[in-house]
Amino acid sequence: MAFNRVDIETKFRRNILLPIYWKYIKHWRVLEYYKKLKEYQWKTIEENRNLQRKKLFELVKYAGQNIPYYKQIIQKNNIRFSEDTIFEDIKKFPILTKDIIRKNFDQLYKFKDNTYYRNTTSGSTGEPAIFYQDRHCLEWQIATKLLFDEWAGRKVGEPIVKLWGAIDDILKGSRGIRGYLKQQLYGVTTLNSYMMTEKNLYDYVQRINKIKPRLILAYSNSIDELCRFIQEQDLSVYFPKAIMTSAGVLFPEFRKRIEEVFHALVFDCYGSREVGDIACNCEKTDELHLIPQIHYLEILNDSGKEANQGESGEIIITLLTNYTMPLIRYNIEDRGVFSKAKCSCGREFPFLKKVEGRIRNIFRNKKGDIIDGGFFIELFYFRDYLKKVQVIQKDYDFIVVNLVLKDHQKIKVANTDFKEIDKKIKLAMGNETEIKFNIVDEIKPSPSGKYLRTFSQIDPQDKNFRE
């Protein structure tokens, strides 16, 4: 049997590079956890539920002993809990919102060792919050990704193309040597979806044809734009085994177009920065399998009670792997529906039927380049004085940024930052763009009640323009 280039590189990565890197250089337990997840998926629903019970109890116990916020909650509400009754006991804990996290931040974490790192999310309500995570959590997150990739037919080390936000590509021109080495190591090539010019889109198609990825991972609206471009230009493109979309709603028309262009299976993954990948569909269904050993999910209806099967409600997540800053009953600000269906794939992981929310927006500049709304949001990450931000494209060369400040004392810092952000927005939108920064007392949600972080008023017919 003759091996081609992709096979040889894959084998080298899978059998030599990655095991050495994870095990001996980083001392990460990624492969061990991945193996565990592969076993868990074939356990019965009761066995998985028992493993989840244990993990949930251990996390709550640890938080109650070590994290000041939870110590107080337990004392104040006189909460008693045990391993046997933890699924009932957990309901006595209040919902953790981003607002509570911001107000009680210093009470919410304790560093166990020096493997912690800072993460942030803007969330669908546009209020950024900061989180600490640690290596243990990261190892499980990588293992989860490997499992979901495997469901989509991509084995460890096989090439992936990611059509994803890469802010440095716009601001610095490239991702540098570290980015290149990471790409070689993991077999992941990132094509920047924050900035999709016609030239870039041509280039992306050529690179996909050269790399021959097993899997393309993409923001749902970005892959849809790429598909339209391929159709309009009548280009020929390599067919990967699968396309996996994330970060945004996979509309049926997106799915249809992806299937037409790439002749590949389409997978949908639900995840977020603060809790990692949560659920993904398998090859047999469009519904999303959850991993009970990583996340404990509740869905609460509009009266705050446990939603019935098929009833839509707010998704409340307990992340079972992060002990540095435990998120217990965290409101992720998405809505979803539990499904009781059994999957013909044989995996007894529970099902999330659908996730609502997560609408992303795209902007267009005068040249017709497509700029993902995520680009603008990322420019405002880690600005501690900010409470809320909203970026609106009023015209091809006019952007309005509405900001609610948390700390008015820091207006000087903010003004300096705005100058720098102004330049960065111009890099993407064009030099002639006017950018107006408005400091406001509040940002009102749209008439439907949904608060939009970014939206463009350019093309109301565009399917991404939702409100």
Site for Zn ion, rule CB under 5 A? 282, 284, 343, 345, 347
- Would you put residue 192 in left (φ > 0), alpha (ψ -120 to 50) or beta? beta
What's the distance, CA 226 to chain centroid?
A: 20
Structure tokens at 93: 């804990």
Dmax over Cα atoms in the chain, in whole Å? 69
How far CA 222 is from CA of 164, 219, 246, in Å, comes to 8, 5, 10
Smallest distance from the beta carbon of 300 to Zn ion, in angstroms?
25
Smallest distance from the beta carbon of 282 to Zn ion, in angstroms?
3
Sign of the torsion angle spanned by Cα atoms 416, 120, 217, 353: negative
| DSSP structural state of residue 78 | T
Structure tokens at 306: 């446990």
Cα distance between residue 242 and residue 267, in whole Å = 7
Smallest distance from the beta carbon of 458 to Zn ion, in angstroms?
40
Answer whether 200's CB lies under 8 Å from 163's CB.
no
Smallest distance from the beta carbon of 117 to Zn ion, in angstroms?
33
Cα distance between residue 464 and residue 2, in whole Å = 46
Smallest distance from the beta carbon of 335 to Zn ion, in angstroms?
22
Q: What angle do CA 241, 247, 249 make, to 5 degrees?
A: 85
Between residues 347 and 383, which has the closer beta carbon with respect to Zn ion? 347
Cα distance between residue 289 and residue 348, in whole Å = 9
Helices (H) and strands (E) in the chain, counts: 15, 20
Pairing, β 195-196 against β 188-192? unpaired
Cα distance between residue 18 and residue 158, in whole Å = 12
Between residues 188 and 345, which has the closer beta carbon with respect to Zn ion? 345
Smallest distance from the beta carbon of 38 to Zn ion, in angstroms?
14
Between residues 128 and 350, which has the closer beta carbon with respect to Zn ion? 350
Cα distance between residue 138 and residue 117, in whole Å = 10
Smallest distance from the beta carbon of 244 to Zn ion, in angstroms?
15
Between residues 282 and 315, which has the closer beta carbon with respect to Zn ion? 282
Smallest distance from the beta carbon of 246 to Zn ion, in angstroms?
18
| DSSP structural state of residue 458 | S
Between residues 41 and 361, which has the closer beta carbon with respect to Zn ion? 41
Between residues 146 and 401, which has the closer beta carbon with respect to Zn ion? 146
Closest CA to 291 of 55, 103, 3, 26: 55
Between residues 95 and 345, which has the closer beta carbon with respect to Zn ion? 345
Between residues 295 and 329, which has the closer beta carbon with respect to Zn ion? 295
Structure tokens at 401: 């940024």
Smallest distance from the beta carbon of 350 to Zn ion, in angstroms?
11
Between residues 284 and 423, which has the closer beta carbon with respect to Zn ion? 284
